[in-house]
A and B are shown apart, each in its own frame.
Chain A
Amino acid sequence: MSVRWINEFRNWVTALFRKDTLHDEFHAEMEQHLDFMIDDLTRQGMSREEARKEALKQFGNVEFLKEDCQASWGIRIWDDFVNDFRFAIRQLFKHKVHTAIIVLTLAICMGSNTTAYNLVVKLVSKPYDYADADQVVLVGKKWPKLQGDSIGQVSIPHYAFLEENTESFSSIGFVADGNFFDLDLNNSTRRVATDKITAGVWDVTGVRPVAGRFFSQEDVEQSSGKVAVLSEALWRELGGEDAQIVGEQLRLDGESYQVIGIAPESFYLRYERADVWVPRVFKPWEFQPDQRNNHSFSVVAKLKSGVSHDQANQRLRSLYESFLEIHPGDRLEQERTGATFGSVDINVSLTQGLEQIGMAFRSIQFVTLVVLVIGCLNVGGMILLKGYARIQELAMRKAMGASVFRLARQVYVEIVVYFLLGGAFSILVLKAAFQGSQLVQIDDIPWAGEWAIDANSLLVTAAIALGAALLTGVMPLVSLLRRELMEFIKSGNRSMTGSKSKHRLQSAFVISQVSLSVILLIMAGVLIRNLNAVLQKDVGFDREGRIAFEVPHPKYRFGEGEEDYRAKVLTFQERALLSICSIPGVINASTTNRIPIDVRHMNHSSFSMSHYEYEEGEPEATALRLVTRPGYFDTVGTRLILGRDFQETDTHQTERVVIISQNTMERYYQGMDPVGLSISIWGKDMKIVGVAEQVQDKPFFMEFDQYTIYFPAKQWHDLSNGQTTFVVHTQGDSEQQLASIEKAILEVDPKVTIDSITFDDVYKGATFTQRLPMIMTALFAGLALLLSSLGLYGLISFTVTERTKEFGIRMALGAGRRNILKRVMGGSSWLIGCGLTVGLVVSFLVCSQLNPVFSDVNTTNPVTFVGVIVFVLAICLFATVFPAHRATRINITRTLQY
C-alpha cells in the first residue's frame, strides 16, 4: 500500500513538470498504433483512405482515452485541484456574508494574537535578544530574608572577588549604567547616556559591532580607558558613515576619547538605552574593603556550556561563604538578611520583582486567548454549517462514485482559500496594531526596542484556527460515512427542519459564543476597573502646570566636594531660580534631586530614631532620599502636615534638619509629635522639623514599602545624584513656558544640558503598567465582542436563509410576519439565554476567586455584571433582528418556485 502511494506521489510530481512531454508522447503512441492498424487493414485489401476511417472507428475516441490515461499519469490530480480551487472561489463570491465573516474573523484573530504575543515577548519574556541569551545571567547579591529571590547590585570589591573566581562562567562583565556625559559639539553641549563597562561585557553579550570594533582589556590599558563605543543612533546623529567618526576623538565631560566602534541599535544593557559605552577603569581605593557596602553596580556573565543555572547558583553561594571568610564583618548582615551571591537569567531579571508588569501582561495574553477561541468558534461554526447545508449534494456525489478523499479535498481547498485571504487581511490588522502601539506610547517603555512581526506567532495562531476549521470541516463527511447515503438523499426536505446533529452543534456554537463573550467582558470589566482604581488614587502632588528640568552638574565643570558644591552648584541653582521666577506666569520654583513618581534616581538609606529601638531581627527602616530647597512642597502641591518647610537659613553651618513623610510618622510615631525629635542617618543626628503629606514617590509598578526623608539642599553636597532638578509651577501654555524656562536656565549657564518633562508625562510613564493593559484589554475585549457578534449574526442568518423555504410555506399557509419573526427570535433567544446564564455563572465563580488578587475593587460588583448583560443582550438582539427581519420579507412565490 505504502509503495503504491510513493509511486503515485512520484507520478504526480513528474506529471506536474512533464505535462507537455506526456501529452506529446501519448499522441505519438496513438499515431503509431493507428499506423500499424492502417498497415494491417491495407494488407487486407482496403484502400489507405478506407483503412484510416476503419482504424479510427475501431480505435475509439482518443480524447476519452487520454482522460483515462491522465489518471495514471497523475495529471488528473492537478486538474482536479485547479477545479476545486475554482469551485472554492465561486463559493466565496456566492456567499458573501459568510465569506466576509470568516475572513474578517481570521484576520482579526491572527493579527491581534500576533500583536499581543509580540508585545509580551518583547516586554516580559524576552526583552534581551543577545546571542545565546539563555546562557547569559545577571549576577548579584541577594537578601532572601528581605527581598526574596530578586538579585540586587554589587560593590566593586564584590565584583573583583567574583571575577577572580569565575569557574561557572566563560566570561564576566561589569556594568555601571545610568551615567551621563556632556558631549561637546563645538557650539553646543549634548547630554549622552553612558554605560561604563568592562571589556568582558562584549564577550558576555556576544554583540557584534556595526562598524569598527569593541574595546578589549589591552585597549583599555593602552589608552588609560579613553576609548568609546557609540550607539548606532548617536553615530547617525553625528553623520554616520559619511562623517568617518570611527577613529576620531570626541570630547566627553571635557576629556578626549577615541571612538573605536559602533554598537547596533538593538543593543542595550539595563533599563535605559545608552548612547555611549566607555571602559570602567577602577581606582585602587575602590577595591578597599570599606567600599563593599556601595552596592551600585551590575554584573553580567555567560554560563560555561554544560553549567546549569542551579549549578551556577550553588557555586555562587559557596563563593559568598569564601567572601565572608575574608570579610567576617559581613556575617552579621548575612544572619539578619540571608545575604549571598546569586544569579538570574538575564531575560527574567528585568521584570523580576515587578510583579504587576507580569500580571498585567499575562492578563493580556488571557484576553487574546479568549479572542482566539471565539475566533475558532466563528470559523469552525461557519464552516460546519456550510458543510451541513451541502450534505445532500455531498451524499449524491458520493453515491455517484466520488471518493471521500475527493470530497474532503474539495472542502479543504475551500478552507485553505479562506485562510489565505484571512492571512492577507491580517497583515492589514497588524499594520493598524503597529500604528496603534505608537499611540499608546509603547516606545516610551525603556526596553521596548523595535517592532517586528513574529512569524512564529502568526503561524501558531493560523495553525490553531486551521486545526479548528479542518476538524469542523470534516464533520459532515464523517456523518456521511457513518450513515447510509440514501438517508441523506431521501431526506430531500431536510432543510425544513434541519438534521438533529446539525441542530445540536449549532446550538452548542451559539451558547458557547454568548457565554465566552460574557466571561470575557466581565473579566475585562473587572480588570479595567481595577487598573482604573489605581489611577484614581491620590498621588500626593499636583501635576497641573508642573514642569521638571533636570540639569546635571558634571564634575569637569562643577567640581566635586563640599567647597565646589557651595561655590558652583548652589550658586548656579540660586541664579537659575531667580531667573526662572522672573518669567511671567511662573508661580513658584524650587529644586529637588528627583521627580516624584519617576523611575530614576532612587537612593535609599537606613535610619534609626532617638525614641525607637529596633527589635531583635527587625530590619532597619530605609528611606528614599530627597534633597530639596525651600518652597519645594508648595511648588509640587504637597501639604506639610506638621512643622515647617526648610528655610534659606538651614545651611551647612546650622543644625542638620530633615522632613519626614506621613507614613514614617504613622508607623514609628504613633500618637506622638515627631517635630523636634531626632533621627540618625549615617551615624549623624538630625532634627525633624516637619512632616510632609504622603506622596506616591515611586511608579505604581514598584512595590511601595519604604519611607521618604527630605534633606535641605544647602546642608548636603553629596546627595544630589550629580544633577539638579528644577521644579516649576507655571500658568498658561506649558509648551511655551517650558521653552522660556529652558532659555532662562541657559542664560545663567549656556553650557549645561537640560532634560525637561511635564509632570503629566512623568505620570504617564509611571502608570504605563496600568494604562497599557487597560487599553489592550479594552481593545481586545472590543475585538472579541465584534467577533462574537459577527459569529452570532452569521450563525443565525445562515439558519434563517436555510429555512427560507419553510417560512415561504408557512407564509403561504397564512402565517403572518409577526409569527415568523417570533419563530426566528424565539429559537435564538432561548439559546442566547442559555449562553448568558452559563457565562454569568462561570464568571461569577472566577471573579469571586479573584477578589484577593484585585484588592482595589470588588470583583463581584453587580454594576459590571448588569452592564455586561445589557451589552450582550443588545448585541444578540442586533444579530437576530436583521436576519429575522429578512425572513419576513421573503417573496413567497419565488421562494417556493425552486
Chain B
Amino acid sequence: MGKVRKELLQGTLDLLILKALATGRMHGWDISKRIQVVSKDRLKLKQGSLYPALHRLEGRDWIIAEWGVSDAGRSAKFYSLTKKGKAQLEEEKEHWLSFAEAMKSVLKMEEQS
C-alpha cells in the first residue's frame, strides 16, 4: 500500500504547486508559504520536498524557471506556469475533483449502510 500512497501524494503535490503558480510567478519559498496559507496550515509539507517536484515539473515543461530579484532584494529562482502547465492544471483539477467527488459519495454510502 505504501507505494500507492506515495504516488497519490506526489500527484497531489504537483497539483498544489501548479495551482499556487496559477496566480503568477513565484520562488520556492513563496510557493511553500502560499500552499501553507491557502490550505490554512492543514497541508504542511517538509520545506525541501518541494524542490524535487519543482524540478520534475520543469523537466516536463509545465513550469519554467528563471533567476530574478525578489521583493526583499535577494536573487532567487522564480517559477511560472507555461501554456502546457496551465492546460495540465485544468486537467488535473478536473480529474482530482471528480475523483474526490466519487470518493466522497462512496464513503458516504458506506457510512449509511
Instruction: Choose the segment among A67-75, A240-248, A562-570 that binds chain B (4+ C-beta atoms closer than 8 Å).
Output: A67-75
* CB closest chain-A residue, reference B30: A36
Known contacts A69-B52, A72-B52: does B76 contact A7 (CB below 8 Å)? no
Q: Which of A65-83 contact B (CB under 8 A)?
A: 65, 68-69, 71-74
**Does A60 contact B56, Cβ atoms closer than 8 Å?**
no
Q: Does A29 contact B (CB under 8 A)?
A: yes
B59 touches A37 (CB 8 A): no
Instruction: List the A side residues contacting B51 at CB < 8 Å.
Output: 26, 29-30, 33, 65, 68-69
The winner among B3, B55, B76 for most chain A CB atoms within 10 A is: B55
B27 within 8 A of A: yes
Instruction: Check B72 for interface membership: any CB of A closer than 8 A.
Output: yes
Whether a CB of chain A sits under 8 angstroms from the CB of B29 is yes
From 26 to 50 in chain B, residues with beta carbon under 8 angstroms from any chain A beta carbon are 27-29, 46-49
Q: Does B92 contact A (CB under 8 A)?
A: no
Minimum Cβ distance to chain A for residue B31 (Å): 10
Taking a contact as CB atoms under 8 Å apart, the answer to whether B55 and A73 are in contact is yes
Q: What 0/1 pattern do residues 71 to 85 of B give for CB contact below 8 A with A? A: 010111100000000
User: Which B residues lie within 8 Å of A11 (CB)?
Assistant: 59
With contacts A36-B29, A59-B47 known, is A69 near B55, CB below 8 A? yes
Say yes or no for A673: interface residue by CB 8 A criterion: no
Interface residue? A8 (CB, 8 A): yes
Distance A32 CA – B27 CA, assembled complex (angstroms): 9
- Is there contact, CB below 8 Å, between A35 and B47? no
A4 at the interface (CB under 8 A from B): yes
Q: In angstroms, how far is the closest chain B Cβ from the Cβ of A29?
A: 5
Say if the beta carbon of B61 comes within 8 Å of chain A. yes
**Across the two chains, which residue of chain B brings its CB closest to A64?**
B48
Q: Is the interface of B mostly helix, strand, loop or mixed?
A: helix
| A interface SS class | helix
Q: Of A29, A72, A401, which is within 8 A of B59 by CB?
A: A72
Given known A-B contacts A25-B77, A32-B75, A60-B48, A37 and B55 have beta carbons under 8 A apart = no
The residue among A26, A32, A58 with the most chain B CB atoms within 10 A of its own CB is A32
CB-based contact B48/A39 at 8 Å = no
Instruction: A59 to B61: give the CA distance in the assembly, Å.
Output: 26
Instruction: Enumerate chain B residues within 8 angstroms of A71, measured Cβ to Cβ.
Output: 52, 56
Q: Does B60 contact A (CB under 8 A)?
A: yes
Q: How far is the CA of A39 from the CA of B61 in the complex (A)?
A: 31
- Which positions 48-69 of chain B face chain A at CB distance < 8 Å? 48-49, 51-52, 55-56, 58-61
Nearest-neighbor residue (CB-CB) of A74 within chain B: B59
Whether B48 contacts A37 by the Cβ 8 Å rule is no
Q: Kindly identify which residue among B59, B74, B77 contacts A73, using a CB–CB cutoff of 8 Å.
A: B59
Cβ of A33: which chain B residues have Cβ within 8 Å of it? 27-29, 47, 51
Known: A7-B59, A8-B59, A58-B47. Contact between A39 and B52, CB under 8 A?
no
A4 to B60, CA, bound (A): 7
Asked whether, in the complex, the Cβ of A60 is within 8 Å of the Cβ of B47, the reply is yes
* Contacts A36-B74, A65-B49 known; 5 new A-B pairs at CB < 8 A: A8-B59, A33-B47, A55-B47, A65-B51, A68-B52
What 5 A-B pairs come out closest when comparing CB atoms? A68-B52, A36-B29, A60-B48, A72-B55, A72-B59
